[in-house]
Amino acid sequence: MTSRLDEARAALKTTFGYDDFRPGQDEVIGAVLDGTDVFAVMPTGSGKSMTYQLPALVESSLTVVVSPLIALMHDQVQQMLGFGVAAATLNSSVAEATSRETWRKIRSGDLRLLFVSPERLMMEGLMDALKGAGVRRLAVDEAHCVSQWGHDFRPEYRDLARAREALGNVQTVALTATADKATRADITERLFPAGRELKAFVHSFDRPNIRLTFAPKDNPTRQIERFLRHRRAESGIIYCSSRKRTEQLAETLAKDGFNALPYHAGLDQGTRMKNQDTFLQEDGVVMTATVAFGMGINKPDVRFVCHADMPSNVEGYYQEIGRAGRDGLPADTLTIYGLDDMALRRRQIDEKEVPDERRRVERRKLEAMIALCEGATCRRQSLLGYFGEASEPCGRCDLCRSGVSLIDATVPAQKLLSAIVRTGQRFGAAYVCDVVHGKESDTIRRNGHVALKTFGVGADKPIAAWRAMLRQLFAAGAVTENGDGFGGLSLTDKGEAILFGREPIQMRPDPEPKVAEPRDRKRGATRDDASLDLDPATEALFQHLRGLRATIARAEGIAAFMVFPDRTLIEMARTKPVDLYALRTVHGVGERKREAYGERFVGAIAEFLAHAPATGA
């Protein structure tokens, strides 16, 4: 097997231009080449797809890759073709002539990777053709879709065990970045044949190059604009909970000078594809999107991901922030959350027509997300702990930087809880906080609540502090919506225990909402951060090469990273190769890319150096 792994390592260099495997890739690829079934949980950006791509090349055999989205399949095929790998997809968006050529390659054995959806795979004609072609393995991407406990369950994925059997019980490889223990057990049971050897790998969920920041909602549009202020040249994604919000935010940011575009399922297909292509092909584009956007995006140089609203579970959050920094270079995240988000997410779960067991699981996942938002210890430590991984404090998240600690908040909590009870447990958060703070609004006077003992009892604290405490009471399960449909709050049993002194409660003193400051290029977090420590002349060359890359990408109608990713351009800017032989040593430059683009890039470098000041070259 060692010789096969050596072959894979050689193909990694000649085809993809990488000197060696990323951490953990070698053991997974070795197991795949061994012929055993493989289940690998690897973080986004760790090179999961390489674990089935390289074996297909080394063995000169056909691997069928199941993928959930047409956009994802299209991008993967384009990327493989760019490396000279025989890859294709069959779906409704493919031209008839292209489909005919794909069918021919399946029958002739010329294809190495075929990307299909679960539904297409189960079509009788394709299944018969694949059986005749002798498929070597079935690779299931985004395998968490198999599990009813996963955050993105798709019933059609349940047919994959039947597809495996129809293909002759071929070797099966399942890959995902997000699966807790229950989800992993469900995938194993439903996808792999019982009694056959299965090698499972659960790698670290840690993405040390991604900095985590959370902020309570306080005018989220302004918070996002402040976050983006020094990131105008960077590409990023902002997730919103509604289609309307994506369009409103894109319009606001565009007026502020950002190249911002919306993306959601309600847009016509032409607009969606145009906006997606712009995001992939150009630098400095901000996509405001619903969660429908992202799974099909393999853009390695996304430098930030924002959540304008709180996600509904930790798995989804982890996968969405994982779209940043896939190139290993520093990236930032900002998650803005509020009590309304928490209430909305709970209400959405309660109103779903799903079995009670599924509802309990979703509620438990939501509570974990709320706990991550309202935690007082290292964000990364809490996030990894959710997936069962122990870690030290990261020293870089918002909580590590601010040093938040818990305080006994029983007395102020009792003031809020008393106000909820005395106002009849039928008013929302803003009203209750106004009563405690002593705000004499027309509504409060009309309701006679100025006369309550709790009116103005919290005038010594700013209104924002009371809102923060009420949000934490909601997160702790002491307060809930009363179900009247108007957002009224009521006490739970836990809330009554706190109110009557039977149970204390600790909270964090909420600071003013903050967002992540721009990254200091000389204060990195990962082994790759040195790549960003560029002197002015090297930085100028890097930007010059990015301009050339953008020109090529637009001309060829492909994503910019499919020419070369930022990491490769950074290395070119630092090493300054001026001939094709020197270009061979640059990370990410394989034979096909060198043949296709090498002359233009070494020419651009030589031209830049010829015109650069002598002291800067």
Angle 301-306-312 (CA atoms, 0-180°, nearest 5)? 120
Domain end (from 373, 402, 431): 402
- Amino acid 174: pLDDT: 96
Query: Considering its fold, how many domains does the chain have in total?
Result: 4
| Domain identity same for 484 and 338 | no
The more confidently predicted of residues 531 and 450 is: 450
List Cβ neighbours of 156 (8 Å cut-off, separation of 6 or more): 117, 118, 119
**Complete edge-to-edge strand list for the sheet that includes strand 198-202:** 87-89, 113-116, 63-66, 137-140, 171-176, 37-41, 198-202
> Does the pLDDT value for residue 522 go beyond 60?
no
Strand-pairing partners, residue 331, are: 210
Domain CATH number, residue 154: 3.40.50.300
Mean pLDDT of 28-57: 93
Separation CA 187–CA 143 (nearest Å): 7
Mean pLDDT of 441-448: 93
526 occurs within a structural domain: no
- Amino acid 51: pLDDT: 96
528 occurs within a structural domain: no
Domain end (from 387, 402, 417): 402
The more confidently predicted of residues 358 and 170 is: 170
| Domain identity same for 605 and 457 | no
- Amino acid 572: pLDDT: 96
Separation CA 499–CA 227 (nearest Å): 38
Mean pLDDT of 481-510: 86
Domain CATH number, residue 447: 1.10.10.10
| Domain identity same for 15 and 148 | yes
Residue 446 has which token pair?
A: 């009309």
| Domain identity same for 279 and 416 | no
- In terms of residue numbers, what domain contains 295? 210-402
> Does the pLDDT value for residue 476 go beyond 80?
yes
Mean pLDDT of 23-52: 92
| Domain identity same for 386 and 423 | no
Taking a C-beta distance cutoff of 8 angstroms, is the pair 60, 81 a contact?
no
Of the listed ranges 193-202, 403-412, 573-582, 591-600, the least confidently predicted one is 403-412
Query: From its phi and psi, is residue 78 left (phi > 0), alpha (psi between -120 and 50) or beta?
Result: alpha
End-to-end CA, the chain: 47
| Domain identity same for 397 and 412 | no
Separation CA 81–CA 28 (nearest Å): 24
Query: At 377, is the pLDDT very low, low, confident or very high (cuts 50, 70, 90)?
Result: confident
Segment 146-185, tens digit of pLDDT: 987 766 778 889 889 999 999 999 999 999 988 888 889 9
Domain end (from 402, 424, 450): 402
519 occurs within a structural domain: no
Of the listed ranges 191-195, 321-325, 402-406, the least confidently predicted one is 402-406
> Does the pLDDT value for residue 524 go beyond 90?
no
Separation CA 206–CA 389 (nearest Å): 9
Query: At 294, is the pLDDT very low, low, confident or very high (cuts 50, 70, 90)?
Result: low
39 occurs within a structural domain: yes
Mean pLDDT of 370-384: 89
Taking a C-beta distance cutoff of 8 angstroms, is the pair 362, 370 a contact?
no
> Does the pLDDT value for residue 296 go beyond 70?
no
- Amino acid 598: pLDDT: 95
Mean pLDDT of 513-523: 48
413 occurs within a structural domain: yes
> Does the pLDDT value for residue 31 go beyond 90?
yes
> Does the pLDDT value for residue 521 go beyond 50?
no
> Does the pLDDT value for residue 26 go beyond 90?
yes
- SS3 string, 151-198, reads CCCCHHHHHHHHHHHHCCCCEEEEEECCCCHHHHHHHHHHHCCCCCCE
> Does the pLDDT value for residue 414 go beyond 70?
yes
Per the prediction, the chain carries an average pLDDT of 88
Question: In the chain, helix, strand, coil percent, each to 5?
Answer: 50, 10, 40
- Amino acid 523: pLDDT: 38
DSSP assignment letter at 590: -
| Domain identity same for 369 and 484 | no
Domain CATH number, residue 551: 1.10.150.80
Query: At 307, is the pLDDT very low, low, confident or very high (cuts 50, 70, 90)?
Result: very high
Segment 546-582, tens digit of pLDDT: 999 999 998 988 888 889 999 999 999 999 999 999 9
Query: At 220, is the pLDDT very low, low, confident or very high (cuts 50, 70, 90)?
Result: very high
- Amino acid 525: pLDDT: 37
Taking a C-beta distance cutoff of 8 angstroms, is the pair 65, 91 a contact?
no
251 occurs within a structural domain: yes
At residue 247, the 3 state secondary structure works out as: helix
Residue 598 has which token pair?
A: 């090498």
Taking a C-beta distance cutoff of 8 angstroms, is the pair 237, 293 a contact?
yes
- Amino acid 614: pLDDT: 58
| Domain identity same for 214 and 193 | no
Separation CA 396–CA 384 (nearest Å): 15
Separation CA 286–CA 215 (nearest Å): 20
Mean pLDDT of 396-418: 89
Strands, DSSP E only, in 271-385?
A: 285-289, 302-307, 331-337
Closest CA to 490 of 479, 500, 475, 503: 479
Separation CA 207–CA 506 (nearest Å): 30
| Domain identity same for 70 and 135 | yes
Separation CA 230–CA 226 (nearest Å): 8
How many beta carbons lie within 10 A of that of residue 469, not counting itself?
A: 24
Alpha helices by DSSP H, listed for 375-455, are 379-386, 398-402, 410-422, 429-437, 442-446
- Amino acid 45: pLDDT: 77
- Amino acid 68: pLDDT: 83
DSSP assignment letter at 241: S
At residue 228, the 3 state secondary structure works out as: helix
| Domain identity same for 460 and 579 | no
DSSP assignment letter at 516: P
426 occurs within a structural domain: yes
Separation CA 131–CA 137 (nearest Å): 11
Task: Please report, to the nearest 10 degrees, the dihedral formed by the alpha carbons of residues 240, 244, 250, 255 taken in order.
Answer: -140
| Domain identity same for 125 and 27 | yes
R_g of the chain computed on alpha carbons: 27
616 occurs within a structural domain: no
Taking a C-beta distance cutoff of 8 angstroms, is the pair 306, 224 a contact?
yes
Segment 284-293, tens digit of pLDDT: 999 999 987 7
Note the Cα 538 to chain centre separation in Å: 31
| Domain identity same for 394 and 365 | yes
> Does the pLDDT value for residue 457 go beyond 90?
yes
